[in-house]
Amino acid sequence: MHSILQKQRDAFRAQVNPSFEVRDQRLAQLMKLIMDNADEIAATISEDFGHRSTVETRLADIAALITEIKHTRSHLRKWMGIGRRPVALQFKPAHNEIRYMPKGVVGIISPWNYPFQLAISPLIAALSAGNRAMIKPSELTPRTSDLTKQLLGKIFDEDLVAVITGDASVAQEFSTLNFDHMLFTGSTRVGRYVMEAAAKNLTPVTLELGGKSPTVIDHDYSLKTAAERILSGKLLNSGQTCIAPDYVLTPRDKVEATADELMQTCRRFYPGIHENDDYTAIISEQHFARLKGLLDDARKKGANIIEIYPDEAETSSNLRKMPPKLVTNVTPDMTIMSEEIFGPLLPLVPYDSIDDAIDFIGERPHPLALYVFSDNKIVVERMSNEILAGGMAVNDTIMHIAQNDLPFGGVGDSGIGAYHGHDGFLTFSHAKAVFRQSKINGRKMLFPPYGKTIERILGFMS
């Protein structure tokens, strides 16, 4: 790893600021690679999961990347342009400008839940900004990690893009490398260690973490519409998505109606679970056991577990397809209400007023995503203005992440910094301030020895 880092540093010094044409060519090569190998990528990810819906992979790991590359290529020349800034009257006729420079070598630590997309999306941003990159993908999806290394090695030399595979100890050492910027996607717990390791090198970090993303259903909103859009986001990748709806705040007098609508919608979306190719397995036996532990803890503390598929409720851990379940009568002391669920379990939390819902969310760590289902402009405006969250979608779930002109990132426990589209270009660029002095200027008036002239200037400036 250290020798590869040095090799990339040397290559960066030889080409500090690649032209638009060079960057665009790299992105074009990457796009063709993804398109040409889409079937193999989908099959390999499915092998790592035990079963992963091919349609979900094509949507989230393939189509999303192609769209992002196309968007980046169409705007990159403009993003690279010199930015003009105003000059204060006392400094005219000088000029101010901003030049966006690559930072150098970027380190990317990617997770297992979208193992290809979350390795390549930061790479798109890094390459668009003119950087070189080293990627450490997750050890929980080893086949996808090996394929990512093999594919990128076909089009990029190691001094431009390198993939480092290995277990958690390799990832730990990777985080200690002296990168010019590091992006980590994963849990809040691990994110703390990554930030601590980066701090020793003063490496700037972008942390894409998770947390409990709440969903609020307003009193008069259609439960059928809400249920469809909540479950389409919740059950994508079987709930193993950092921005999946984590729990639902629903009016107290509509808890039962909300549960009924969610159950009916779920059965319509997925008539069965175990033999359903559209439904994705839990990534590992460890994570399967963790989800069962959340249910056991909630049940012991008085929660009601609603089995949407009672005939398939007892899922074998070898199959690792956990049927969706609703959880009611939840209390704050239950682990399911304090830890990110990251699976197909959905607690329903009653509320009496919008004030109560806002307070409930505000008393907890800032979420990565907030979902609000309401046709009431006042309610939407209050949720938008009074709840701090990484991102927000109104009358839908997860769709905000697909918007290439919106930044994606968290706040507080859910992350630091953002990327995607122009925001990704900015994250991996240094905005270098440039002041251009004019031939005709009053600079000599500021030279020592100081006298009455400088006093008059200071009076004018203040």
Assign residue 237 a region (left: φ > 0; alpha: ψ between -120 and 50; beta: otherwise).
left
Residue 171 inside a domain? The answer is yes
Residues 140 and 66 in one domain: yes
Alpha-carbon gap, residue 71 to 422, rounded angstroms:
9
For residue 35, give its domain range. Answer: 2-209+411-434
Alpha-carbon gap, residue 107 to 197, rounded angstroms:
13
Residues 350 and 235 in one domain: yes
The active-site residue out of 68, 208, 228, 340 is 208
Of 384, 402, 420, the last residue of a domain is: 402
Residues 63 and 194 in one domain: yes
Residue 37 inside a domain? The answer is yes
What count of Cα atoms within 13 Å lies in the side-chain half-sphere of residue 129?
A: 32
What is the β-pairing status of strands 429-436 and 95-102?
Answer: antiparallel
Distances in whole angstroms, Cα of residue 237 to Cα of each of 146, 170, 260, 274, 368: 21, 27, 23, 14, 18
In order along its 462 residues, the chain shows pLDDT tens digits of 999 999 999 999 999 999 999 999 999 999 999 999 999 999 999 999 999 999 999 999 999 999 999 999 999 999 999 999 999 888 889 999 999 999 999 999 999 999 999 999 999 999 999 999 999 999 999 999 999 999 999 999 999 999 999 999 999 999 999 999 999 999 999 999 999 999 999 999 999 999 999 999 999 999 999 999 999 999 999 999 999 999 999 999 999 999 999 999 999 999 999 889 999 999 999 999 999 999 999 999 999 999 999 988 765 555 789 999 999 999 999 999 999 999 999 999 999 999 999 999 999 999 999 999 999 999 999 999 999 999 999 999 999 999 999 999 999 999 999 999 999 999 999 999 999 999 888 888 888 888 888 888 788 777
The active-site residue out of 56, 68, 228, 242 is 242
Alpha-carbon gap, residue 411 to 252, rounded angstroms:
29
Residue 358 inside a domain? The answer is yes
Residues 218 and 171 in one domain: no
pTM for the model: 0.94
Residues 201 and 228 in one domain: no
- Catalytic (active site) residue 242: yes
CATH number at residue 118: 3.40.605.10
Alpha-carbon gap, residue 244 to 114, rounded angstroms:
13
Residue 461 inside a domain? The answer is no
What's the total number of domains in the chain? 2
